Structure 1
Amino acid sequence: MGWTYYKQPGETAEEQKRYLINELTRDTNNPDYFFRVIEHHCGSDNVLWMVIEAQRKTDDRKFRYISCVLLDYQDQQWGYKEMDEAVGPAYYSCPLAFLDLAPEDNLPPEFEGSFAKSWREKVLGQTNQNQAVPA
């Protein structure tokens, strides 16, 4: 998947970014699920992390997973590229609390056999590596 760019309302880049984040964190749905963002965080690296609750329409069962959205500003407009943990994004700045909000045993069945488990291990490893005290 590629990037999507469009002109957002707002006078400044920050106003436009806030608008885009509000759009990306709205409730949505598809034929099988309702989606609701439980928590989100966008750091100075312009990576928007979201914990998404997906409620299956056939039986109302709820699952949670983590989504990674890369943000980029070019030519006075913001763009984004959206991925979820199933594809194993090569970004590991996810807040650790998000791993608890979306426990591994509550991922959607579609994530079975995906990169989610190894991605979570890398997030934890990156955090442990950053917290290591030099000898």
Structure 2
Amino acid sequence: MGWTYTNKPKNVSVRQFFEKQFNRIEDDGKYGKILDCAVVNLRTAYIAYEIGDAQGKREVIAIVCVLDYKPNDYYNFGYKDMDETMGPYRYDCPERILKMLTPTKHEWAREWREKCWERIRAKKTRPKLKKGMVIKFADSIVFSSGRREDTFRVEDPKRLIFSDRWGRRYKLRRYVLDWEFQVLDDFPQKKKIF
């Protein structure tokens, strides 16, 4: 479960790279091939991987690859691959990958799949962002300046531009919207200290 660093040419997609690494056919008819691959937030690849044999037996499992990029290095691409039975702590697998997986009896794989489905269900019930909406995250967001904020007004929902109570503007990353938040009527009033 260590990291592998190698050179990945710029014109090779993550899926093409992993197809070259993971697709295989053995002399006895056993095979493994990637059916689909989805990269989420540039840092995680979720792969639907089919394993089968010449008798027609087949199963589709999930492989999770944590990704790292070093653009100024010859070994510019790193990955750490785990299958779903290893209990990967990444749960933002897309629905299309989960739907391709065949049933499993492995307890850790079932737990991992359920946590991914929980995240998908929560995302579907979350309110859609609208301009002027005030949202409060369950946990504060810590910015590179050291500033911590948890409540924002939506300025531009498409470009993910938000402002705080003092009018400072922020561009949030899309994955932040996967975090738990609630919609407020307006910014909470600050308590006066005398």
Which TM-score applies when normalising by structure 2? Answer: 0.55
* Larger RCO of the pair (alpha carbons < 8 Å, separation 6+): 1
Shift of 1:96: 1.1
CA distances 1:106-134 after superposition (whole Å, capped 9, x unpaired): x4xxxx43410000111011222333344
- TM-superposed CA distance for 1:25, in Å, is 2.0
Corresponding position of 1:97: 96
Q: TM-score normalised to the size of structure 1?
A: 0.76
Whole-Å separation in 2 of the counterparts to 1:24 and 1:51: 11
**What residue ranges of structure 2 are gaps of 5+ in the alignment?**
127-181, 184-194
Q: Is the 8 A contact 1:16 1:78 kept in 2?
A: no
Cα deviation, 1:50-101, whole Å, max 9, x if unaligned, reads 11111135x3311111111111013521111111111121001111121211
* Rounded Cα–Cα distance in structure 1 between residues aligned with 2:59 and 2:112: 18
Shift of 1:33: 3.1
Tell me, yes or no, if structure 1 residue 48 matches structure 2 residue 48: no
Higher helix proportion (structure 1 or 2) = 1
What's the counterpart of residue 66 of structure 2? 70
* Equivalent residue pairs, number: 122
- CA separation of 1:17/1:23 partners in 2, compared to 1, >3 Å: closer, same or farther? closer
Partner Cα distance (2:5, 2:25) in 1: 22
Distance, in Å, in 1 between the alignment partners of 2:121 and 2:6 is 38
* 2:123 paired with 1:130: yes
Higher alpha-carbon deviation: 116-125 or 26-35: 26-35
Match of 1:23 among 17, 21, 32: 17
Partner in structure 2 of residue 5 of structure 1 = 5
CA distance in 2, matches of 1:120, 1:128: 12
What residue is the counterpart of 1:12 in the other structure? Answer: none
Task: Report the 3-state secondary structure (helix = DSSP H, G, I; strand = E; otherwise coil) of the residue aligned with 2:45.
Answer: strand
Post-superposition offset of 1:29: 4.1
